[in-house]
A and B are shown apart, each in its own frame.
Chain A
Amino acid sequence: MRELKIFAIVAFFSFLTYYLVEPYAHHEMHKKMDANGVEIKIESHGFTYDGTDDIAEAERAGDAARVAVKKAFWTDVVEVSKLKGDATAGEAGFGMCLGCHNGANMNMGGVIPPNLDHAGAIYDKNYLIAVIKDPAMASNVDHKYADTMMHPMGSIKAMLSDNQQIADVVAYMLEHKAGEVTPKEAFTEACVRCHAVRYTKTTQLGDTPKFKHKKDELAYEIKVIEEQDMVKAYMGNLPPDLSMMIRARGEHFMETFIENPQGQLPGTSMPRVGLNHEGYEKVKEYLTEAGDPSKKAREELGPWVIGFFVLFSILAFLWKKSMWRDLH
């Protein structure tokens, strides 16, 4: 009847406005275009790393030399991944890593080398191979360096260069540096060296302890600022606090960004960290606890409130009908 027709018209124009202002406009605002005006689609590869995006970026930039270098690098990585790694033999090689990744919280070359306790669980195997072969190339920040040996971890290229040795070390990590990992552990190992999260009282130095005396509190704050200055000098800018990042960027962005920062923010100095799918899920869980802790409650309460109003509307309709029955 007429009222349904009127409702349909109102609903149509409302949805049209919504569509134009939200999905359509945001797509237009955020789409990336290449030099020929063709849209670059940014999609996740399910947290696998084979250099596809890296090579595509170099191709778009028309840099043939770089394309060749990257293709060679990632082909090499695949070669190593085919080797059978011996975890026992790898333990000796891993000892070389512990020289820097030693848990002493000392800044080396700009960041504190991350804890590797769960590296085998949260990082992708091919990425682990790649990062030992050449950290800057693996993390897609080689554009920052004339010579990738200058990367803070660059010297590993010389220390662990034999393919079988690399395969052994990675096998060791996959077997002995894996196991159950909490969201907090995953986040700490993958992100905390650069990113603070004030809502969980975490800084680049780790969890902030409780101090009884103001003087100790302030002394610690100064240590945090000094560490942040070193990270800032290394990265060019202080990496942002991640407290609300999950809501400020949304899941699609976070997924694609963490997998390959260069895709969403070309030229950024954030390295790809090589999280695998499980690692990313744990990190996402931690970020959600920090930035969107009411998500679960929201999703649980929603059906009840909406269901209540469905019932309310039905009862209201029946009451309205009974009130208007003798009027027509």
Chain B
Amino acid sequence: MANEEKSRRDFMGMALGACAAVGGVGALYAAKRSWDPLPSVKAAGFTTIDLSTAKPNELIVEKWRGKPIFILKKTADMAAHERDLVIGSDRFHMSIGLCTHLGCIPAYKKDTHVFFCACHGGVFDASGIQEPGLPPPSPLEIPPFKIAGTKIILGEEGPEYKQMLDAGLTV
């Protein structure tokens, strides 16, 4: 009789414990959702930039997801590269303006057509490729983009971006 009692007690106790655990999981799910980025933050993750007024050899700096974005309209004498954005007859270099060494923002030198990072002397050419022998280990990263006429939408993955990813031209 006592054993029956004990096992009934234990069973009820376990049933209650299981029920409580389900409730706990529900509460933890709600808690997790409260930490999710807010809709207004996610919506702000898409930036549209109009390139129709861009001038050659003049660096445009925009903000996307809190990061600086470099856009440089290439001149005739700047070498073409597979990483370029092609809009009509213009070629653009676009990258996240953070040095791949430790994250400083490089400065663009108009006369020598290079990005120079003052922190540890890193140099990137007009296509964002790092000069060998200096601290930066890899080229400037290209953010996800989509071309729409003369505008680009940062944050969306267009076909040109996907091609670059596949070809290993960016990470």
Contact = CB atoms under 8 A, between A and B. Distances in A.
Contact of A322 (B9, B19, B22, B26): B9
Interface string B131-154: 000000000000000000000000
Interface majority SS (helix, strand, loop, mixed), chain A:
helix
Contact of B8 (A311, A315, A316, A322): A322
A322 B26 CA distance: 28
Nearest to B10: A322
B56 interface: no
Nearest to A325: B5
Contacts of A308: 19, 22-23, 26
A164 B13 CA distance: 80
Contact of A319 (B5, B12, B22): B12
B20 interface: yes
Contacts of A311: 19
Interface in B1-26: 5, 8-9, 12-13, 15-16, 19-20, 22-23, 26
Contacts, number: 30
A312 B19 contact: yes
B23 A319 contact: no
A1 interface: no
A319 B19 contact: no
A315 B16 contact: yes
A315 B5 contact: no
Contact of B9 (A315, A316, A319): A319
Nearest to A305: B26
Interface string A146-175: 000000000000000000000000000000
Nearest to B22: A308
Contacts of B12: 315, 318-319, 322
Say which size band chain B's interface belongs to.
10 to 19
B18 to A, nearest CB: 9
A318 B9 CA distance: 9
Contact of B15 (A315, A323, A325, A326): A315
Quick one: which of A308, A315, A316 has the most chain B CB within 10 A?
Answer: A315
Nearest to B12: A319
A312 B15 contact: no
Contacts of A326: 5
Nearest to B23: A308
Contacts of A316: 16
A136 to B, nearest CB: 42
Nearest to A315: B16
Quick one: which of B5, B12, B23 has the most chain A CB within 10 A?
Answer: B12
Interface string A176-195: 00000000000000000000
A156 B117 CA distance: 70
Nearest to B1: A326
A217 to B, nearest CB: 15
Contacts of B26: 308
A323 B9 CA distance: 6
B23 A312 contact: yes
Interface in A240-256: none
Interface string A303-327: 0000010011001101100110110
Interface in A281-323: 308, 311-312, 315-316, 318-319, 322-323
B104 to A, nearest CB: 26
Interface of B: 5, 8-9, 12-13, 15-16, 19-20, 22-23, 26
11 contacts: A308-B26, A311-B19, A312-B19, A312-B23, A315-B16, A318-B16, A319-B9, A319-B12, A319-B13, A322-B5, A322-B13
Given A312-B16, A312-B20, A318-B12, 14 more contacts: A308-B19, A308-B22, A308-B23, A308-B26, A311-B19, A312-B19, A312-B23, A315-B12, A315-B15, A318-B15, A319-B12, A322-B13, A323-B9, A325-B5
Interface of A: 308, 311-312, 315-316, 318-319, 322-323, 325-326
